[in-house]
């Protein structure tokens, strides 16, 4: 497996909030450092898991700066600057680059449902405004628009569009992206449960939610596959699957924020319209987390 330019495990980091809904910047820095200590080679800031749609641009820019200050060069800090308005996405991209972001994440423009030509124009404008590598983020289940493999092949011709986070959930489409991409273009799985299957068809890593809890194990899984130990990789994949199911049983990032509170982080609530887990959902998540809490405790004791 070829490792991507942002390493094998990029965590789509939650945005900790205070009880009043304000961004908890100090806790974001603590969490970013902890992720680096637990297998993350990159960190996405203000993405889907980071509740980017409910953050103001000023909050996002401060988050970029605070996380960069916290991790330095230990991990690639990837700033999500995409939205459904090209002009504002371009402006935020410029601000993220000025703040020192190592790369830009450009999510598909949601709700508007542009045709493929509109997607090419949108992403090209963002890449033209960027001074750092750009990762396209294709997640049609949230955006209602699918960045097709042929569209990505065109976009990959831009010198700064160098990667894609593929969350279509369609292995056929992901394989077509890999087949059409130029040499050196990084195809990351955007779904935890497809991290290993994507690696098997030419992907280079994962942009992960589960790595908040199981970062070392996900890193070990991809490292095992890279060295040709397929049995060890498959065993780890199967072991991680129940955790992945639990973290996506309800709209993300609701469960992962609850999980990080269980792990001792002041993650706070999600911003409305996302809400808390129900009592039954909390109970199910706690049961799924139990073996992972035991792993954390054993690791800390060593």
Catalytic residue among 29, 60, 165, 257: 165
β-pair partners for 165 = 137, 188
- Residue 103 to residue 264: CA distance in whole angstroms: 29
Quote the longest CA-to-CA distance of the chain. Answer: 55
Q: In the annotation, is 110 catalytic?
A: no
Catalytic residue among 29, 60, 64, 137: 137
Backbone phi and psi for residue 121, each to the nearest 5 degrees, phi listed first: -65, -40
Q: Is 154 exposed, middle or buried (0-12, 13-18, 19+ CB in 10 A)?
A: middle
Torsion of CA 145, 147, 149, 151, to 10 degrees: 120
CA angle 40, 244, 189 (to 5 degrees): 55
Q: In the annotation, is 165 catalytic?
A: yes
Strands (E), the chain: 9-12, 42-45, 76-80, 103-107, 134-138, 161-166, 186-189, 205-208
Determine contact, residues 98/75, Cβ cutoff 8 Å.
no
Nearest to 218 by CA among 33, 17, 35: 35
Catalytic residues: 137, 165
């Amino acid at each position: 497996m070829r490792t991507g330019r942002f390493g094998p495990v990029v965590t789509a980091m939650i945005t900790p909030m205070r009880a009043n809904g304000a961004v908890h910047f100090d806790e974001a820095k603590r969490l970013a450092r902890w992720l680096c200590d637990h297998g993350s080679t990159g960190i996405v800031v203000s993405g889907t898991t980071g509740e980017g749609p409910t953050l103001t641009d000023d909050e996002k820019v401060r988050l970029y700066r605070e996380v960069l200050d916290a991790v330095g060069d230990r991990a690639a800090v990837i700033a999500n600057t995409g939205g459904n308005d090209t002009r504002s996405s371009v402006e935020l991209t410029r601000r993220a680059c000025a703040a020192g972001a190592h790369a830009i994440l450009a999510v598909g423009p949601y709700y508007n449902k542009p045709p493929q030509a509109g997607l090419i124009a949108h992403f090209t404008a963002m890449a033209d405004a960027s001074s750092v590598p750009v990762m396209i983020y294709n997640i049609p289940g949230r955006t209602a628009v699918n960045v097709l493999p042929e569209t990505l092949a065109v976009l990959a011709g831009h010198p700064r569009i160098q990667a894609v986070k593929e969350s279509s959930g369609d292995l056929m489409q992901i394989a077509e992206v890999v087949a059409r991409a130029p040499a050196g273009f990084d195809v990351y799985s955007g779904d935890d449960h497809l991290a290993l299957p994507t690696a098997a068809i030419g992907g280079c890593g994962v942009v992960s939610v589960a790595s908040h809890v199981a970062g070392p194990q996900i890193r070990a899984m991809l490292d095992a596959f890279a060295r040709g130990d397929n049995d060890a990789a498959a065993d780890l994949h199967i072991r991680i699957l129940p955790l992945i199911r639990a973290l996506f049983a309800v709209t993300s990032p609701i469960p992962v924020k609850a999980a990080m509170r269980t792990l001792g982080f002041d993650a706070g609530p999600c911003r409305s319209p996302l809400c808390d887990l129900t009592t039954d959902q909390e109970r199910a998540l706690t049961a799924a987390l139990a073996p992972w809490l035991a792993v954390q405790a054993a690791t800390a004791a060593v």
